[in-house]
Chain A
């Protein structure tokens, strides 16, 4: 594989990784809790699209909208039903969200079964970029991911609600002092994070497949990216995602494809042990 194609593949896969991690980092940054059901939002999104397109026969566009709505709703239910009353106890949040994640997996197993399901591609066909043959579907995923990331970035930095979110992530006390209601911001964060994760789930499912355990890998990926990029930093997450994406493509390309899932894990442990606060501090949140 040529250097150009490694770069193209890295650019595409990393954009999706960034999309996967952003919701996780938002919740971590704003609420100060680790949402271990983040992978479950991805599963919810993917399976909603599966149902809407394959079972009810609608188009991919409707499937994506349904996935975003369903996973956003999932985020809201999770926050209002479980997390809100225990949000001051991060470890309890970790445990309950982990149990929720397991429960969602089981729901999928009961409803759909353990076999993998395919989700229709966004676009069919191939294109040639820098001498690399790329599926148009991947390209669509890349573009849409960046649109969402840029949109989120603009939302956080230039809208009132986004600025309130940013303020809450920086200082709960300060945000409360200027009249920002933390609970509303938290709810907004969980809905946003869920919706973005659901979208990422559709994308993941469209060029791999959807399976009941499909959320586990992205969850670990999210940790790694968030720890690498620094808590609650959107920019850090994107950078972290590109670093991980690059490392992963390199590992697959030059060492062994069977090591696919191992790279982010090892990077995570290495970063945690060497520099637990991440490569970029909390401050990057402002940017």
Chain B
């Protein structure tokens, strides 16, 4: 959006802050999200009337709330899958455990959401332990199979005990968090934004800490981690539990917001599980930033596509749906199909993710801009203090590569070795 306004002068000012450009852009993005409600009644769009136009109003704020919670889902996936390389195909289990626990406590026992949400988080973390510990025995695709099946088991239990869990229709009648419904869109939005920022900061800090380095090392070579005297099982369990707790928190808060509900279709369907993976991979696996951006972007993209779908279909008078919005589900018409196709293309074209491609492209631009002034290689090559991020960005598609390699080893076994 702002890339066309970039000039040498702007770069110099941004660089003088001492942070690298992408951090500044990230912070600017957050600040933009924070002041967005002040721009009320402005329209943001890509210039084609009726397509991808977002007017800044309560409706948009609610959409963004859903998008922010989905961004949290994607970040929680990235912690365990992007970093330790344990690809989870069923992260919806954690969202559902968090969301359903909180909603059930609220509906059955009248416990206020503010108290029920933490219980949901704890139970989600316990679920992370329950799935994570047995999964330590498994590697590669076998672990993915277990995670793929976990939400299906949960769904079957929900249908089996539909008196308690409401079956496929889900639960109805949970209270809003602090009583803030769709008429208090501003407050709902800011709660989501603050939570999003806190979770982002937490996960960013964890993945950039020593523990995060061990996560990455596990992804690259688990045996080497064990050989170095560190226990991979301990770190993998930690990653699972942290991820599950964050997912549970996002799920529980989402359920108590006016945009979401405790329904299988919104928390744990195959589509949700796939969307989380798509968001994180398209954003850039193993970066947290990528997952955060990917998650928010994906919901907005879907919303734009559904508007596009509306524009393409003939409006039937008297069927205005008004303010009913349920991101990220259900998409009963064309929009999700379009989205799936776009995703397939992006997966094949940009397998490393948008954020990584952006960083690489940005560096190229920076280098060209800077080359007028100084030696470009020296500024880029040897920055020791930034090594962790440098590694993430410079390694390009490394995280996926490592995961692919592990999966290949697990699948083919000793086929190629003799």
Contact = CB atoms under 8 A, between A and B. Distances in A.
A123 interface: no
Contacts of B362: none
A91 B404 contact: yes
B347 A92 contact: yes
Contacts of B274: 98-99, 102
B129 interface: no
Contacts of A89: 400, 404, 407-408
A254 B177 CA distance: 44
Given A110-B333, A259-B160, A32 B142 contact: no
A247 B157 CA distance: 18
Given A92-B400, A262-B153, A265-B156, A99 B343 contact: yes
A268 B344 contact: no
A220 interface: yes
Contact of A223 (B149, B157, B340): B149
A261 B149 contact: no
Contacts of B73: none
Contact of B337 (A107, A223, A227, A266): A107
B160 A96 contact: no
A114 B146 CA distance: 28
Interface residues of B, number: 49
B4 interface: no
Query: In this complex, which of B134, B145, B408 has the most chain A Cβ atoms within 10 angstroms of its Cβ?
Result: B145
A110 B312 CA distance: 13
A133 interface: no
A209 to B, nearest CB: 17
Interface in B342-361: 343-344, 347-348, 351
Interface in B261-296: 270-271, 274, 277-278, 281
A226 to B, nearest CB: 10
B212 to A, nearest CB: 21
Contact of A82 (B153, B336, B344, B407): B344
Contacts of A256: 160
A95 B337 contact: no
B385 interface: no
Contact of B149 (A102, A103, A172, A268): A268
B411 A276 contact: no
A106 B341 CA distance: 11
Contacts of B134: 273
Contact of B141 (A34, A110, A114, A282): A34
Query: In this complex, which of B152, B334, B336 has the most chain A Cβ atoms within 10 angstroms of its Cβ?
Result: B152
A163 interface: no
A94 B400 CA distance: 13
Query: In this complex, which of B277, B332, B340 has the most chain A Cβ atoms within 10 angstroms of its Cβ?
Result: B340
B153 A269 contact: yes
B141 A94 contact: yes
A184 interface: no
| Top-8 shortest CB links A-B | A103-B340, A106-B337, A89-B404, A262-B156, A90-B407, A91-B407, A265-B153, A32-B411
